[in-house]
Structure formats: structure tokens, C-alpha cells
Amino acid sequence: METAQDTIQQTEAKAETSQTFFKGTGSQVLLNGLITEGVKTIFGYPGGAIMPIYDALYDYADKLQHILVRHEQGGIHAAQGFARASGEVGVVFATSGPGATNLVTGLADAQIDSTPLVVITGQVFAHLLGTDAFQETDVINITTPVTKWNYQVTDANEIQEVLAKAFYIAKSGRPGPVLIDITKNAQIQIEDFPEYVKCHHIRSYRPKPKVRVEYIEQAAELINAAKKPFVLWGQGVVLGTAEEEFKAFIEKTGIPSAWTILGESAIPTSHPLNVGMLGMHGNYGPNVLTNECDVLIAIGMRFDDRVTGRLDKYAKQAKIIHLDIDPAEIDKNVKADVGVWGDCKETLPLLTKLVNENKHETWLAVFRDYNQQEIDQVITPELYPEGEEITMGEVLRNINEICDGEAIIVTDVGQHQMVACRYAKFNNTRSNITSGGLGTMGFGLPAAIGAKYGAPDKTVIAIIGDGGFQMTPQELGTIMQFGAEVKILILNNRFLGMVRQWQQLFNDKRYSFVNITSPDFVALAKAYYIEGQMVNEREKLRTALGTMINHKGSYLLEVMVGRENNVFPMVPQGMSVSEIRLK
Amino acid sequence: MSTEDKIKYTEDLVDLDGKQEYTITVYAENRIGLLNRIAIIFSKRKINIESLNSSASEIDGIHRFNIVIHEGYEVVRKLARQIEKQIEVLKVYYNTNEEIIWQELALYKVSTDEIAEKVTVERLLRQYGASAVVIRKDYTVFAVTGHREETDALVKALEPYELIEFVRSARVAIIKDSAGFHEKLKEFEAEEPGEELVENEFLEKGGKIFTM
């Protein structure tokens, strides 16, 4: 049995080894840790099992801004929008049980889109674990497949180290979501806590592979010998803050470059070497020419099936160079001839040094020829329609003309997303925020709220379909209460448009449950004291968009667009990228 | 086992589409939940784990998993990279049966009367290198270590003699060529000693600790 003498000795020993700076609860030390990590904004929703943390938060109001969302899913999507717009780690609080399970969609979304998040969930008392206590769910096991790392804290003494690790893991290497589940006893436990030490190293974790120069040399050799090289870039360029390094590489080599939707705004849309979007609804030239190039250089992208189409017919003629920070991505879908493991912020400058200056004018002209075909057959009719119905494309053209590429555009998922990604113009990195890998309807509105906190000086436009908006409309309440200035643009075609398009093209127009009726969105916004209007005439569109963008405060604009407009070009599922359809 | 049997056995292990037995060796921190994280990598792809063993390694705090699956080379290579991606995993190897030394332990419970009466059983046991673990009036338990086909063969041989129960362990394997990582492990431990495993100390103590 421990004697009083033992306790004194232990306390003395502790005092010698660590400088005690704070006596308080686990909750307080958690919040102090967040402040030390530079956190200023938290998105969350309180509940019984996280009450001690919220109680402590009451005293930190001057240092930590807490945005009370209307649903935990809204909270985590907002944190994603915040992280994507700012480049910082998004932080979310939720309670145990239903609070935590409501985060799962957002975690999966953040995991597949490599978004750095630290999510704190409250948990029942440690002694109740495994007893099916009130609001107990096995959060660690539920979230294991959708987190980069997770950990359950049962003792307050673990909090500092685990929190520091969480931030390090979330933002280093290939970023991702991390979840810490803290039992209620640990939140209220009073201890003497040592000074918070940030984590910079975990012995079993290598966030960046060591750059191997021989592979860079092999890549440079292939690039220098190439007649028709082609660059595909993804979000890795943005996550690695390698936009300048990337631009320097393509400008020296003169290689035509196309993007995945998450890589989109890394270089300006108007850059002469930016030849457009890859994949299922991407541009004609980049898709067709993937099967004509002789060297394919993939940078920070993961050859998603929406990008590659049929793999057995994908770029078989080309030598593949794949630059990625995550070794598991190399050869995962497309076998690389040269795999360059590493952070592209480090690997790209090394590669740029070794490659020859080039222009590739003739090859670039082939892209322009295809682009002209697409302009004539798809883009012009979409952006300058002759029919009566408003098209989604012309809405985007007007936004481009008003915002001049300076706005942050957050999209939900569906036809409008593809149209927005295809036609929106961007001048700045981190301006295009969308749910790419998971394709989460309901993402747009809360992510836009988060994006506004992540980039308060920017105009944030949330472009959302009538279907997606109805998945998380309650976040209008968050806007109402906290005044996040978000311009909400609903493109309403009275259908679940993307599914309807597939049903039209592949299911013989059997429109099975894609008819969706909507409430009066403008009245709904007004119920939340948000201004708005609806337009269904072309003559009023430009003015209405101008009103929305120039309005001081949030604004909801509903635009009635053509019911059965389709998004083209399109690579039908199971086809190769060169079989892309223009209509 | 005759050479012919061995060839037949090896052929059975390799499918026409290139599938064969691979032993995946994972060196990882000893952490609660990591086994689940690793198992998910297999179940997500609908791959069956033939055998899984988790045990301590020669270094304190570092655990070693031996996972046996029947798959093609490319699948195994990608799985290994996904496992190695996990934060607490230090290193992953994947090897064919030729590249490892491996054993499984099997226990056989047979009727003692049968053993006592029938000399052939004793001979069988000798032939298979079995040892008696427990001898009681009603039954005797024998143990055999060896490859699958060896322990299987003894099951077949014992069946006519009232084999009451049989159990076999997961595979444990040593890679023939892994001296390099042993050195690295020792370096890890010398430079950065492992952290202590934190278990739930409050379980079953609720009444004593909390009043609310």
C-alpha cells in the first residue's frame, strides 16, 4: 500500500523532472493545448459527455471562438471548409454517442480528401466503458477506418501528449483527420500538468519518405526525351504548398498540364499551360490526349477511378512518372515506371533543376485543337445558351465576370459541382473547395461557413443543388447566429440532376425517384433572417448575382435552371478516357 | 514428407492466377486498437486472413504480427504498403513460404486407453515427433510443431483412434533474411525507448472513484 511518505517522494520526483506550470482539469489543459497549437476557431456541438470541456470553454471565450453548428455533420464539414481555405488544422468538438456518430461522414470525407482535422469527442466515464451506458458508442472502432489516427484518453495525464501527437499527425505528411475520444472522468480530473510540448516526431511514423535522387534523375531523363509529355496535377501540390515550385517546373518544361478537381486552383485558370480538367466530366483534350502522350507525369494525385476511367485502357502507350508523398499511392492504381516518393515541395525543385527548357508548342497546339472542338460543341452552347432556359454554365460565366476569379467557390455534389469546377475561374490557390473523393451531398453549405472563417477577407460563394441543400439546410441557423458572410447560390433543376442524367443516358429515361420538390428556399432563408431572392429569367440573372455578391452579409439566391440539362463531356462508366462523349 | 508430396503440396498452395501463401510480418508499437486497424485493411478488400499471430518481439514494446493470406503478389505488395502507412507500424515484410522458417503448434487430445492398448499409436506419435503434454486416465494430450501438412497428417493418422479434440495455433515465422531490421529495431530502442502502454485503469473501479 502506498504510504503518505511515498506520495511525497513521488511528488518531489515529479517536480524535479518536469516543470509544473498548471494545476487544473483535463478540460482546461486540453483547451490550453489547443491555444498553444494556434487554434482560434472551433466548430462544435455540446452534450452530456463533453460538458466539462464546454464548461471550461466558457472561460476561454476571448481566445477560442466556438461556432455552434446545428448538427455535428455541419460542424465537421465546416471544419473541413476551414482547413481547406486556410491550410490550418480544423478543430471539431462533439459529444459521445450520436454526437460522435454524426461525425462519421465528415471523417470519411476528410480522410479521402486528405484534410487535416483534429476531432475531440466526449466519452462516458472510463469505468462505464463497455457497459452500454447512456450515449456510449465505440467511437474508436467506428472511426478507425475513416481516420488517419485515433486514440481514446481515459486519464487526464495523457491529454497533452495525445493532443500534440494528434496535431502533428493531422498536418504532417499526407494530411488527414485524427480523432481523440476523451472519457468524462479525464475531462474533470485535476492534476498538475507540465508545460505543453508540441510534437515533431513519432518513432514509428515517417510522414515524408526520404527523397531518392536517382529516381528524380530517371524522371528527368524521361521528361527530357519526351516529345509529348503531359502533367496531371492534384491536391498534393496545394497540400504541399508547392504551387510556386509546380509553376516553375511546368514553365521551364513547357508541358501541358491538367488537374483533378481537388488540384484545380493551384495555378490560375488562365495560365497558358493549364489545359483543363481530367476525368469523367473533364475537358475533351486532356482526356483524349492521356492516351496519346508519351510521358505522363502525375504530381500529388492518386489516379482515382473518376479520373482514369477504364484502367486497362489508360495511358498504356506512356511512360508514367508518379510523384507522391504517400508511398502507398504509387503503383496502387496505375503502375509507375518511375515512382518519386516525397513531398512535391522538395521533389519538384530537384526535378526542375535537371529538366531541359522546352516549349512543346506543337504538342500544346493539339490540346488547343481539341479545346476548340469542345468550345464549339459544348462550352459555347452552355455559357451562351440560345434556348429560354437558364443553364448552369451561364450562371458560372456571370460569376466569373463579376468576381474575376477572386472568390472562394465551395460546391456541393452533383451536376452543379461538375459545372462549377469546369467553368469557374480561379486566380488564387485554395479557392476551390469541394467534396472530391467521397462526393458528399450536404457538404457545400457547412463547408462554406467554415471557409469563411478560414479566409475571412474573401468572398465565399456556396454553389449548391436543390437536392444537396436539403441535406444540411439547418446550418442557415449557424449563419444567422454567427453572421458568417456566405453567398448561397442554389441551382435548382427540380431533380437530383446527376442521377437523372445517368438514368437518361444509361437507364432508358427511367427516372426512378429523382424528382425532388423543394420548399420556398428564399422564404426559408428569410425565416433565418437571411436576405434572398429567386430568379428564373435570364434578363434578371446578372443583376441578381451582382446583388448577392455585393450584399453586406449572407444572401441566398435561387436560380431556376433547365430541368434536363446534362453535363458534358462525359466519360461513361466502364469506358476509357479516350471514349469521352461530347454529347 | 517425400519430395513428391512436397511438390504436390507447393503446387496446391499456388493458384493458377498467381495466388500463393504469403506471410506478412508487421513490426509495430504495442498499442490498443492497432490489431483492428490492421485487420480492417484486409476486410475492406474482402481478403480472408488464414492465420494471424500477435506477440512480443525481441525488443520491449514492439510487437510482431504474422499474418498469413493466400493472394497474388501485387495485392500483397499493396496491402503491405497500406499497413506500413499506419502511424504505429514500423516495418512490414511479405514473404513466400520459401523465404521464411515457420511453425505451427498443434494439440491433439486422444483417449488414453487407445494409446495404451494400441502400440501403433505410439509408433505414429514417434513418427510425427509428438510429445505428451498431459497424461490422464481418460485422455492424453500430445503436441506437435511443424508445417501445416505435418500437423494435418497426424490428424488423419489419429482419427481412427478416437481423436477427441484438435487445435492448431496461428503461424509463427522468422524471415530467413531479416537481420537488417533487427539491428534497426535495437537502434530505435536505444535512441527512443518505447512508451508504456496505457490501459483503462478505471474499469471496475467506478464505485470507488466517482460519485456523479
Q: What is the pLDDT of residues A453-477, one digit of tens each?
A: 999 999 999 999 999 999 999 999 9
Exposure class string for A523-558: b at 16+ Cβ within 10 A, else e: ebbeebebbbbbbeeeeebbebbebbbebeebbbbb
Q: Cα(first)–Cα(last) distance of chain A, in Å? A: 81
Q: Hey, is the C-beta of B90 within 8 angstroms of any chain A C-beta?
A: yes
The pLDDT of residue A1 is 44
- Mean pLDDT, rounded, for A367-387: 97
Reduced 3-state DSSP string for A76-145: HHHHHHHHHHHCCCEEEEECCCHHHHCCHHHHHHHHHCCCCEEEEEEECCHHHCCCCCCCCCCHHHHHHH
What is the structure's pLDDT at B7? 60
When pLDDT is averaged across residues A324-335 and rounded to a whole number, the result is 96
Interface mutation target, options A124, A184, A204, chain B, most CBs of B under 10 Å: A204
The residues that bridge with A192 in the sheet, in sequence order, are: A23
Compare CB distances from B210 to A125, A150, A169 and report the shortest one's residue: A125
| Nearest CA-CA partner of A73 in A411, A449, A453 | A449
Residues of chain B in contact with residue A183, where contact means CB-CB under 8 angstroms, are 202
pLDDT at A491 over 90: yes
Calpha distance B91→A325 (Å, rounded): 17
Please confirm, yes or no, whether A135 is among the known catalytic residues: yes
> How close A140 gets to chain B, by Cα (Å)?
8
Active-site residue among A148, A171, A184, A487?
A184
Q: In the prediction, which pLDDT does B160 show? A: 86
pLDDT of residue B11: 60
* Torsion sign, CA atoms A18, A20, A21, A24: positive
- Could you list the pLDDT tens digit for every one of the 212 residues in chain B? 566 666 666 566 666 678 999 999 999 999 999 999 999 999 999 999 999 999 998 888 899 999 999 999 999 999 999 999 999 999 999 999 999 999 999 999 999 988 888 777 788 888 899 999 999 999 999 999 999 999 999 999 888 888 999 999 999 999 988 676 778 777 777 777 777 888 888 887 776 665 45
pLDDT digits (tens, 9 = 90+) for B123-169: 888 889 999 999 999 999 999 999 999 999 999 988 888 899 999 99
- For residue A19, the model assigns a pLDDT of 63
At which residue does the C-alpha cell 505451427 appear? B104
Quick one: pLDDT at residue A66? 98
Q: Taking residues A396-423, report their average pLDDT.
A: 98
For residue A103, pLDDT over 90 is answered with yes
Helix axes A213-225, A344-354, angle to 10 degrees: 50
d(CA A95, CA A46): 6
Model confidence, pTM: 0.93
Percent of chain A with pLDDT over 90: 95
Contact list, A154 vs chain B (CB under 8 Å): 198, 200-202
CB contact, 8 Å: B59 with chain A?
Answer: no
**CB atoms near residue B30 (< 10 Å):** 18
Give tens-digit pLDDT for A196-249: 999 999 989 999 999 999 999 999 999 999 999 999 999 999 999 999 999 999
Residue B35 is predicted with a pLDDT of 95
The answer to whether B211 contacts chain A (CB < 8 Å) is no
Cell matching residue B139: 485422455
Distance from C-alpha of B33 to C-alpha of B9, rounded to nearest angstrom: 36
Q: Of these residues, A10, A23, A63, A134, which one is catalytic?
A: A134
Query: What secondary structure letter does DSSP report for B188?
Result: H
Name the average pLDDT for chain A: 95
pLDDT of residue A15: 47
Residue B209: predicted pLDDT: 61
Q: Is 70 exceeded by the pLDDT of residue A12?
A: no
Helix (H) or strand (E) holding B146: strand B139-146
A241 in Cβ contact with A222 (< 8 Å): no
User: Over 60: is that where the pLDDT of A360 sits?
Assistant: yes
Judge whether A188 and A123 are in contact, CB under 8 Å. Answer: no
What average pLDDT does the segment A185-196 reach?
A: 96
- A427's CB contacts (< 8 A; 6+ apart) are A268, A269, A270, A404, A405, A406
Is the pLDDT higher at A583 or at A225?
A225
Partner residues linked to A179 by β-bridges: A119, A150
Contacts of A503 (CB under 8 A, 6+ apart): A509, A510, A511, A512, A514
Residue A309 CA to residue B177 CA, distance in Å, equals: 41
| DSSP assignment letter at A194 | E
A116-174 tens-digit pLDDT? 999 999 999 999 999 999 999 999 999 999 999 999 999 999 999 999 999 999 999 99
Q: Strands, E, within A246-347: which ranges? A: 257-259, 274-277, 295-299, 319-324, 338-341
Greatest distance between any 2 Cα atoms in chain B: 71
List all residues 6 or more positions away from A380 whose beta carbon is below 8 Å from its beta carbon: none
**B196 at A interface, C-beta within 8 A:** no
The predicted pLDDT at position B185 comes to 78
Nearest CA to A268 out of A489, A493, A68, A429 is that of A429
Give, as one character, the DSSP assignment of residue B44: T
How deeply is A59 buried, as exposed, middle or buried, from its count of CB atoms within 10 A (0-12, 13-18, 19+)?
exposed
pLDDT at B187: 78
Cell of A144: 478507425
A332 touches chain B (CB under 8 A): yes
Grid cell 476551390 is found at A432
Give every CB contact of residue A326 below 8 A, 6+ residues apart in sequence. Answer: A173, A174, A302, B85
C-alpha cell at A12: 518531489
* Ranges A19-23, A26-30, A66-70: which has the least confidence: A19-23
Residues 6+ positions from A435 with CB-CB distance below 8 Å: A109, A113, A412, A413, A443, A447
Strand ranges in A15-83 using DSSP code E only, listed in sequence order: 20-25, 41-44, 65-68
Contact A410, A444 (CB under 8 A): yes
Contact criterion met (CB < 8 Å) for A125 and B77:
no
What is the mean predicted confidence (pLDDT) over A405-421? Answer: 98
Distance from CA of A59 to the nearest CA of B (A): 23
Mutate which of A55, A114, A127 to test chain B, going by most B C-beta atoms within 10 A? Answer: A127
**In the predicted model, what is the mean pLDDT of residues A33-56?**
98
Q: Does residue A575 carry a catalytic annotation?
A: no
| Chain A residues lying within 8 Å of B44, measured CB to CB | 145
Q: Do A326 and B85 touch (CB under 8 A)?
A: yes
| Cα–Cα dist A145/A160, whole Å | 24
φ/ψ of residue A82, rounded to 5: -60, -50
Query: Is the separation of the CB atoms in A189 and A253 below 8 Å?
Result: no
